[in-house]
Amino acid sequence: MAKYKKYDYTQSLLIPVSLEAQMMPGTLEFAIHTLLEGRMDMSVFDIKYQNDDTGRRAYDPKILLKVVLLAYSRGLVSSRQIERACCENVIFMAMSCNQRPDHSTIAAFVSSMKDQILPLFCDILLVCEQEDLLGGTIFALDGLKLSSNASTEWSGKISELSKKKEKIEQKVKLLVEEQIATDKDDGDDFSDRLNREKRIERLHKQASWIDKWLRENNAKISATTGRELQSNITDNESAKMKTSHGTIQGYNGQALVDGKHQVVVHAKAFGSGQDNQHLAPMLDGAKENIERIGQSEDYFENKIITADSNYHNQNTLKKCREEKMDAYIPDLKFRTRDARFATRSRSKSKKSEKYVLDDFRHDEVKDQYICPNGNILKLNIKKHIVDRNIYRRYLADEKDCKQCSLKSRCFYRKNTKRRSLDVPIGTDENNYSKAMGEKVDSDQGRKIYPQRMAIVEPVFANIRTQKRMDRFTFRGKIKVNIQWMLYCMVHNIEKIMNFGTV
């Protein structure tokens, strides 16, 4: 007969555990512990506590920050998950010295770091500089869109939200009428009645919530287009953004990354999915961070900066020129001009079948154009400027276009009434976009710009995929920005662990 060792779950064990021995050199928890104990100024938290003479002793900010950074590095972004880890995981017990802060303490600590997060981020950046992890020659900028603690269901323009409130009120009215009718017939089951009352109460709260929000908030207006944007009742500073993972309600975490070891030199979260307004504040923030760690204010002069075509606009390029940075930011059509893609098979689009300028014949004597169907386009505007390019505009007669059999190949929109033709005659002397296009199309530009992906994309892959820091758990731009900077701090600490001496 087989023999097995006996076991008894009712027995008790007393296991001696050395907390310090759990944090082994070469691990991320050891790097976090060492940096916070010896190379970061944690006195920035002292001003928050006024319990010198009275009041309960507070958790040491070192303990709380160690636990939060370790938790984020393992994909635990919920304060309840962090609380549980401090009670069950030996590494977390060691990091917290067996103190067990609850989830409300952890959440309050993170969300209240508005004045402390930047000095702490710069402390880590200073260690990166001391460990020779910053190259200071080429930088890449990009954004990572992550969902936040906000619901897409409660998004919409002011008019749409007002209609939503009216629909909810109409539902309440119908439920009340249904309740009155069933009361008269005495045919309503008790459980049905209870469920109906709960629905009415829930819908009442939703309608009151929307009504209060509408009274306290105005429409969100785009700074670039002047059009109304969608608001969000749960977190109005967040925005709807299109990503490769679908449409999300969240924030756009921007990171400016040094090319040597992919260290993030500045990080900031924005409530806008469009990147074309983000370069200027990111450069300004990076300059402040670099000055905080003892570098000169001209640190970024003559340094290379790369960003994708979403950042390409006149103001962005002007900012790079003012900062004397060697920028490589292509326009949306730069690949169509690249000879390396000339042999790539492309499906013929409908736009390629439309008539273009070369299909119109110019009558130099009368200064007018003749369309493929023989109709005349007369001069309408002598000087028309679009995106720093200068054009002469010619217009066809509306009657000719209405009767034309070729208008399907001439009009780009269905509601177009007559064909217009913009003929380029020159460029503005401050056409930064054209100059950038020529720069990116050069042999040097074709070599430098592709380095962008190798610099910044692995940073986001590490944060989102490897560390599983793939969402924000807070609401409001200030709190989300704190969490985004903590995510980037975790990334930088890992770089110190891998390439430094910690």
User: What band does 427 get if pLDDT is binned at 50, 70 and 90?
Assistant: low
* For residue 350, pLDDT beyond 50: no
- Burial of 310 per CB tally in 10 Å (0-12, 13-18, 19+): middle
* For residue 498, pLDDT beyond 80: yes
Q: Which CA distances in Å does 63 have to 99, 108, 165, 455, 486? A: 8, 14, 46, 33, 15
Q: Mean of the pLDDT values across residues 451-480? A: 95
* For residue 407, pLDDT beyond 80: yes
Q: Mean of the pLDDT values across residues 148-160? A: 90
* For residue 186, pLDDT beyond 70: no
* For residue 352, pLDDT beyond 60: no
> Strand 304-307 relative to strand 138-147: parallel, antiparallel, unpaired?
parallel
> Strand 246-258 relative to strand 239-243: parallel, antiparallel, unpaired?
antiparallel
Helix 279-292, helix 314-322: angle, nearest 10: 20
Q: What string of DSSP letters covers 170-203?
A: HHHHHHHHHHHHHHHHT---HHHHHHHHHHHHHH
Nearest to 261 by CA among 124, 134, 143: 134
Q: Pick the more confident residue, 413 or 40.
A: 40
Cβ atoms within 10 Å of 85's Cβ, excluding its own? 19
* For residue 344, pLDDT beyond 70: no
pLDDT tens digit string along 302-320?
999 999 999 998 889 999 9
CA–CA separation, 392 and 421 (whole Å): 8
What is the pLDDT at residue 151? 87
CA–CA separation, 225 and 320 (whole Å): 23
Structure tokens that stand for 307 in this block: 């960003």
What is the pLDDT at residue 188? 59
pLDDT tens digit string along 361-384?
999 888 999 999 999 999 998 887
pLDDT tens digit string along 212-265?
999 999 998 887 778 888 999 999 999 999 888 888 999 999 999 999 999 999
Structure tokens that stand for 199 in this block: 């629905």
Strand partners, 257: 140, 264
Q: Mean of the pLDDT values across residues 12-25? A: 88
CA–CA separation, 365 and 290 (whole Å): 62
What is the pLDDT at residue 1? 81
Q: Which CA distances in Å does 441 have to 167, 179, 306, 331, 446? A: 55, 71, 14, 10, 6
What is the pLDDT at residue 430? 65
Kindly list the domain boundaries of the chain, sorted by start residue.
20-112, 135-143+250-330+449-477, 158-218, 351-433
CATH topology of domain 135-143+250-330+449-477: Nucleotidyltransferase; domain 5 (3.30.420)
pLDDT tens digit string along 92-141?
999 999 999 999 999 999 999 999 999 999 999 999 999 999 998 999 99
pLDDT tens digit string along 263-283?
999 999 999 988 989 999 999
